[in-house]
Structure 1
């Protein structure tokens, strides 16, 4: 019997992130790369890693296929994160991240995930319905051929299980979730504009736009990431704006997932919403201080949280 987890994260389309350095990008020539680093990647897996860095625990559910899938399971196990994997016929994808040391430019190559069969996607949904956690985090892209309503089905399961759904996706997949309702969504300003059907939003229009979604029952909490400006958390009663701390940025890979991880961990610790958004911004900003796909270091996140506490 599997022990109960307060937090379950779901990654339908995980990846192995392979990162390296090279010097100078020249067409038609062999580019010599340094020994690559391999990380388990994909929204939910990164969220679980972030929770683990803060001393929390979660169960991460993901699909896994082929030798790359086996490597993914090993990498997750090395992080001491408990997981349940759903075997797929198609192989787990790889992403490639390369930094040019001459210019310090980062190049990110993302591949689409193999398609899931009907049996496989049903197995993912069945696994989720059996778990009934307090918080269910669904994050990341969907595989080829999975309908835009896949996360909507996850939202229905969360509702039936009385789990609080935290969803980090965009476009049609997010629109469909709003029809059922989620506990927390995390769009950026551009995505928020699309959700309410406008071209663009100014900073001072964000609160009203988020309130529209809340009034329709789309979400209880809307967290809007404002990039270098920070983030804002909106509920029916609360409006909390947090500026982003000024840190030396090395990579933005995993910053959004780190932010979600920080917030879910804080929610699971019954912290106030004022603290929840600050933990989110602290973890997201701390993640940008590290290279490649390493997420954040716990002491960076804690230091930034202390600094943000009075902001």
Structure 2
């Protein structure tokens, strides 16, 4: 029985390629194109599977692009549960410019989802008997802002642990249930949540306030090149970023979450999980395109406390 259920409400077919120079108007010839299944929940599940964990993923899929996503999922080892929708799955496009090293990422908003289609996802959450439900990614159009809050309440009612990586009103409403075990905002998402610009000290205070008010038991805040910190009832655990050669930032946050959830499901303390999440997020930027992290890199980067 899988220990973890990942939720992907707005998945993508991730297309990545490279070119020498990106120029306006003129045709830009690309090479080394690859297709990967993507979007928050799917990426989290791919990372957990790469690290050796047992995970199921529930994802929405529709149209011809949905068929391509289904094909991409079949080429992974993740146990996938497709929920059909009427509108086509979105396609995200990433181009790496070799001349400058810049990465251009184009992320469409995604399909309109009927509330009736979403009921099948909530049914999977209700029936899941593992320990962790992790929801990651934006909400597609048509889905109510309280969607993740409903999942948190279902999970809490069953004495399971709900982990969330999202933003905006969806994040705010989920936290209001006081049923979130772990939340992982970026510092920008935390600023949006509190409604003001934050320096690191302010961000730590805001995260500690979320813990103290019971809105989440743990808050892991990623700060890009500045590292990350974990807020808990014990206080703040701050880790600096490890300097590696950056090839692509795609999926770094999802890898962070996947590493943490994998470690927690193995029975490790949250501090250990946080360190593994940091290693997984760092390992993700070492791979090109949409490849996410590799297990050997995560293990090499992991530093126990």
TM-score, length-scaled by structure 1: 0.94
Over the residues paired in the alignment, what is the CA RMSD in angstroms? 1.4
Structure 1 distance, partners of 2:199, 2:101, is 32
1:208 is aligned to 205
1:192 is aligned to 190
1:20 is aligned to 17
Report 1:119-158 matches (<5 A).
Answer: 119-158=116-155
Which residue of 265, 270, 273 maps to 1:273? 270
1:170 is aligned to 167
Report 1:95-114 matches (<5 A).
Answer: 95-114=92-111
Structure 1 distance, partners of 2:228, 2:18, is 31
Could you tell me which runs of 5 or more consecutive residues in structure 2 were left unpaired when the two chains were aligned: none
Q: Provide, for residues 17-49 of structure 1, a one-character-per-residue CA deviation record: whole Å limited to 9, x for no partner.
A: 001112222222221111420000010110011
1:238 deviates by: 4.1
**8 Å CA contact 1:11, 1:140 repeated in 2:** yes
2:232 is aligned to 235
1:125 deviates by: 1.3
**8 Å CA contact 2:283, 2:298 repeated in 1:** yes
Structure 2 distance, partners of 1:231, 1:100, is 28
**8 Å CA contact 2:113, 2:143 repeated in 1:** yes
**8 Å CA contact 1:132, 1:162 repeated in 2:** no
Matched, 1:219 2:216: yes
| Runs of 4 or more above 3 Å deviation | none
1:39 is aligned to 36
Structure 2 distance, partners of 1:194, 1:118, is 27
Q: Provide, for residues 254-286 of structure 1, a one-character-per-residue CA deviation record: whole Å limited to 9, x for no partner.
A: 000000000000001111222111100000000
**8 Å CA contact 1:132, 1:158 repeated in 2:** no
Could you tell me which runs of 5 or more consecutive residues in structure 1 were left unpaired when the two chains were aligned: none
Report 1:45-64 matches (<5 A).
Answer: 45-64=42-61
Structure 1 distance, partners of 2:120, 2:214, is 29
Structure 1 distance, partners of 2:239, 2:116, is 44
Q: How many residues are treated as equivalent by the alignment?
A: 304
Shift of the 193–30 alpha-carbon distance from structure 1 to 2, 3 Å rule, reads closer
Q: Provide, for residues 273-309 of structure 1, a one-character-per-residue CA deviation record: whole Å limited to 9, x for no partner.
A: 221111000000000011111001111111110xx33
Secondary structure at 1:309's aligned position in 2?
coil
Structure 1 distance, partners of 2:115, 2:298, is 40
Matched, 1:293 2:290: yes
Q: Provide, for residues 31-70 of structure 1, a one-character-per-residue CA deviation record: whole Å limited to 9, x for no partner.
A: 1111420000010110011111111110011011122212
Structure 2 distance, partners of 1:57, 1:75, is 19
Structure 1 distance, partners of 2:205, 2:27, is 52
